[in-house]
Structure 1
């Protein structure tokens, strides 16, 4: 079976997932990228193993609409099955229409959605256009419970055709580092100027408004004990503003800037006592997957797609309202005040066990077996 996977950009986690997909027997996998890589967010990406990568030419139909790419008819006619990495951009919409015209099956691969969008207006134009793509998909590889609810509740898509994608990160790499976590903790605390008795709260990601990082600074300022360092592994347009806000509130803030080397990023997790993801809107939150494997308690906004799958309140962390600074502060206090988070750490690592690229591959294999059965019956 010749499979075309169409997605937007190269990313470390996606390449590892595709490397795993390419292990499936009797398939040829070609991966097409629709977008140009952002200059301020260029990751060091693993080498593609077992699949071919093709960058598509195209035009960006305004920023919000995304790319319409060239060569789409050829992609459909030269493959037996398409996997679409979305349903809302022009290229995905056109490919779904071409698949229907040329009688080619397609699967939707979906990374997640912010939980507040489960209340989305079902009758607006955007939803109607999405429905045209979604209803004709043979299967959906969604991510977590939020995907299953989203497609079944908003689009009335059959539950039995929605499988968990198990999108994750390089868990094997983080796990291999875990045995040396104390070494990394000492090394990076010294490098960052963090004292031995200081607690460390980590945020990993971009510094833009939707990520709601300023609320964390304000929440930390409300803590009774102020022996806490807020460590940000990332960068963005709000960096200087956040530094100024932290200075005003007398919060010890350290910002590393964007870390393109995944190994370097992972080592920083061992400095921390907990990770926080405070976003107003977050399709999933792969940094939470990373933190779980590193054995960290996690504090996650209820608007993050991963919240209901990766956080068990009072067992490995807390879920909070991102608009309530007092609630955020209380959740930080509950985790940071503990002298020993061993039980939380153990639970985090336990949850992470299911979120592997192997499980992602197995669910795709399950879908492909249905096509084999259909072919055998013809």
Structure 2
């Protein structure tokens, strides 16, 4: 494919680097513009080898904690696009002013647009009014689409995207890394794991409320940092949840140790676009308690085989599912294999399919 293809994304994310490397291998003329290097709610270090051409643009970057929203304004983007003159522009969202600037460029200069989108009706906070109208305009302006998964596809259709031009991509991580590095172990005590940002919408307090109801609760390891960390610690002290351990933020190469020790992962998010921690945990052989409000749940979880779906607003349901998991004979090897088809290579191929739809 000789066409000049530009991908515009918000920040460099370590879990997407294998996908980008694959695209650079398969696409002859491929480049990425990142609107910022990182957002203030992220603590990761980029350790993965980068084999693709990219630029980090200058601009103004803000993060609204209450809304979990990164805002990027890159005034120079329009002129960079004119200079680069790409044939196809893949835009990784619509929630930043710079994405709208890219859309304007594409419409003025008649460039084909592929929208790479993960939002779902379950995770979206704004479906109506002025913001909903803006989403509809942006989504209908694209020529083809790559969705994170089934629920993201439904979302695109809801806002006017034509189904025939949507490719389901299935968001993912480098599953081979976790399968290779994790040592599948079994311990005498059940260990439940949470990995993520310690914010209200992640549903950690709801998980703790469920543990409070259990006579024989599992060890609960919480990995991550965030604005609710001290509140959650105080809750554990108040209710004498002495099996709960806060480990703080841990980098990817160190988190493997915890995936090796744990039996199952809980992701009780009250809203979640996808939930890549599910991909990581499945690749590591962990059974999953996955929120019904996460996009990944509907594509990755096979109830009873590699996980259960939970309603995080229903504390009794969380409690019952924890008890249910602790009665299972978990086959970590089988669980790890259940994620095989959701590889970075397949994800990259699906973006290439979306690009070919506009040729």
TM-score greater than 0.5 by the shorter chain: yes
How many Å separate the matches in 1 of 2:37 and 2:50?
A: 21
2:184 is aligned with 1:181: yes
Match of 2:22 in 1: 20
C-alpha root-mean-square deviation of aligned residues, in Å? 2.2
Match of 1:147 in 2: 152
Q: Is the 8 A contact 2:59 2:75 kept in 1?
A: yes
Match of 2:162 in 1: 158
2:109 is aligned with 1:108: no
Q: Is the 8 A contact 2:260 2:284 kept in 1?
A: yes
How many Å separate the matches in 1 of 2:156 and 2:224?
A: 32
**CA offset at residue 24 of structure 1?**
0.9
Per the normalisation by structure 2, the TM-score is 0.90
How many Å separate the matches in 2 of 1:172 and 1:85?
A: 25
SS in 1 for 2:221: strand
Match of 1:76 in 2: 81
**CA offset at residue 129 of structure 1?**
0.9
2:222 is aligned with 1:238: no
Q: Is the 8 A contact 1:66 1:90 kept in 2?
A: yes
The structure-2 alpha-carbon separation of the partners of 1:274 and 1:138, relative to structure 1 and needing over 3 Å to count, comes to same
Q: 1:341 pairs with 312, 319, 330, which one?
A: 330
Match of 2:270 in 1: 280
Q: Is the 8 A contact 1:114 1:304 kept in 2?
A: no
Q: Over residues 314-370 of structure 1, what are the superposed CA-to-partner deviations in whole Å (9 max), with x where a residue is unaligned?
A: 2222112111111111111110233x112xx45533431121111112112223334
Q: Over residues 8-41 of structure 1, what are the superposed CA-to-partner deviations in whole Å (9 max), with x where a residue is unaligned?
A: 1111112221111111142x22211113524563
**CA offset at residue 281 of structure 1?**
0.9
2:345 is aligned with 1:358: yes
How many Å separate the matches in 2 of 1:48 and 1:128?
A: 40
**CA offset at residue 161 of structure 1?**
1.0
What are the ranges of 5 or more consecutive residues in structure 1 without an aligned counterpart?
186-195
**CA offset at residue 270 of structure 1?**
1.4
Per the normalisation by structure 1, the TM-score is 0.86
Q: Is the 8 A contact 1:108 1:137 kept in 2?
A: yes
**Greater fraction of residues in helix:** 1
Match of 1:189 in 2: none
Q: 2:171 pairs with 144, 167, 171, which one?
A: 167
**CA offset at residue 112 of structure 1?**
3.9
What are the ranges of 5 or more consecutive residues in structure 2 without an aligned counterpart?
none
